[in-house]
Every structure is written in C-alpha cells, then in structure tokens.
Amino acid sequence: MKAAYISHPSSLRHEMGEGHPECPDRVAAIADRLLMRGVLDLMETFEAPAATEEQILRAHESRYYAELQAKAPAEGYVHVDPDTSMNQHTWTAALHAAGAAVLATELVASGQFKRAFCNVRPPGHHAERGQAMGFCFFNNVAVGVRHALDVLGMERVALIDFDVHHGNGSEDILAGDDRVLMVSTYQSRLYPFSGDNPRGANMCNVGLPAYSTGDALRSAVVDHWLPALRKFRPQMIFVSAGFDAHRDDDMSHLGWSDADYAWVSARVAEVADELAEGRIVSTLEGGYDIPALARCVELHLRALLGID
C-alpha cells in the first residue's frame, strides 16, 4: 500500500524548556524507530511545507494568528499559558506542522496515497479558534479537515481522536459543521476538563473512567464510533493520534497497552477501507513516555499499512 510520511526539521527545534514532556525527542524517537524497523522503507518521505495564512485562517481567527505571530520571541521563551511556551523556532515549527496536515490531505485526496502520517510537533488538537493551550498553537488536523472540505471539495469527513485528553480545540472549531463527524475517546475529568457535554450534534465523545483499560476503548469503538461512522459515511478519515493513554505514560490514568493501539489502528484502517476508499490522514498528538510512544506509532502505522 502506498503511504506518505511527512515531517520537518523545525519539529526538532521548537522546545519549551528543560524537562518539558512535549519535547523534540518525541519525533526523533519515532523517526528512529520507524527507520530501524523498516517501516519507512514502505513509505515515501516528504518535507512539510509551511501552511499559508489563508490555510490556517480556515480554522483560526485572524486576530489570534496576528497575536501569536507577534508573540514569537527572538530569543528565550514566551509563555502563552502556564504549560505552553514559544521559543524562537516555535512559530516556524507550528506553520510546518499545520502545513504537514495540508500536504497529507492533498496527497491522500488526490489518490496518490491511501494513507499519510504526519510526524510533526507542536501538536494541535487543544488549539481553539482563538486560543493556544495544552502544548498546541495551531490545530493541525482541523486545518487539514477544512482544507479537504473548503478547497478540495469533500462533502463529508470524519475525525477520530484517541488522545487521552479531549480534543477541545478540534471540537471548538468543528462543532456544528454537519460536513464533519468527530468521534473521540479520552479520560473523563482530566485536562482540559471538557468533552462530557458535546458542543454539537456532530460530536460523538466517549469519556472513559480513570484506571480503565483497553477494554473500555474497545467498547467505545464498537458501541459508539463504528455505528456513528457507518451512518455518516465519510469520504476521508483524519486521525488525531495521541499515545498518552498508554499505561507507561504518567500524563494520565488509563491503562492501554501496545496491543490496544494496534487494535484501534486496525479498526480505523478497516472502516476507512469500508467507507472512505481507504483514505486516512493521521497526525501526531500526545504521547510522552518516549519508548512507548515510538513502539505504538510503529504499531499504528503497521496497522494502517496492513503489514505485520
């Protein structure tokens, strides 16, 4: 199966201070693992372009774009919320992370590739229309979704989000847009303390109790996601791929295993093949235990590519 791998060197230059969990080692470890395990041999590599202002403004307010650009420091750090800050490379990295989603969307929508994976940072699914938060500046996947709809003419797309934290930014941007179905799981009553009261009829949010295992994920997928997706019949599937529900990741209190990530990724691949001509654009979100992150991204891509 033809698949695209998209990244950019600026993902390694953006950082938010010593000891911060959302660190450059995340994308480096993923790239190293995929190279060592031969997965990259099965994918075509692309360097992410910078998203244009026009592309970003399909998901974000112009005021916010201008204010964030003005905050970009020449040196040191500028905090935009208590745990999210910019260094001199953040603005560039954020543009290329969003641009990766745009390129992935174009490659998959055109039929050049069935699957695409964006190994970029900063992540995006907490970024709201007018607010950076939760390590996120631009909502990469929402920029891709809006590009598919508003530029490429897709009529229905789905967003699947299995990060341990609710994708409040994606919901803020996409709630009420009947061209989009968002299905998600997350740990209830965990940052950003949202999701349990969906903001639109096009949101299928399944909060999971703390200390639950992958069995709760599997029930959410079978009982909620799959019926909603089959009813909606998307033409393309986007994935906010967060790996921080892993039992080794101390950012949460869920107990998913490597096998759970392989299982959910296989279900995503199956439903894409059934409903969306196989079209999948997956973008990296969370995942902060580096060894578990690298292993599970490999399993995610093996499932999407249909290889053992």
**What domain range includes position 296?**
3-305
Q: What's at 37, amino acid-wise?
A: R
CA distance 105 to 100: 8
The verdict on pTM exceeding 0.85 is yes
The residue ranges of DSSP E strands in 100-215, in sequence order, are: 115-118, 157-161, 180-187, 203-208
Considering the chain, what percentage of its residues have pLDDT values greater than 70? 100
Catalytic residue among 8, 89, 125, 126: 126
Total structural domains within the chain? 1
Q: What is the pLDDT of residues 134-145, one digit of tens each?
A: 999 999 999 999
Looking at residue 233, what is its pLDDT?
98
DSSP string for residues in 49-117: PPPPHHHHTTTS-HHHHHHHHHH--SSS-EEEETTEEE-TTHHHHHHHHHHHHHHHHHHHHTTS-SEEE
Q: What is the pLDDT of residues 180-207, one digit of tens each?
A: 999 999 999 999 999 999 999 999 999 9
CA distance 54 to 260: 38
CA distance 43 to 32: 14
Contact 237, 192 (CB under 8 A): no
Q: What's at 234, amino acid-wise?
A: P
Catalytic residue at 126? Answer: yes
Rounded average pLDDT over 264-285: 98
CATH number at residue 192: 3.40.800.20
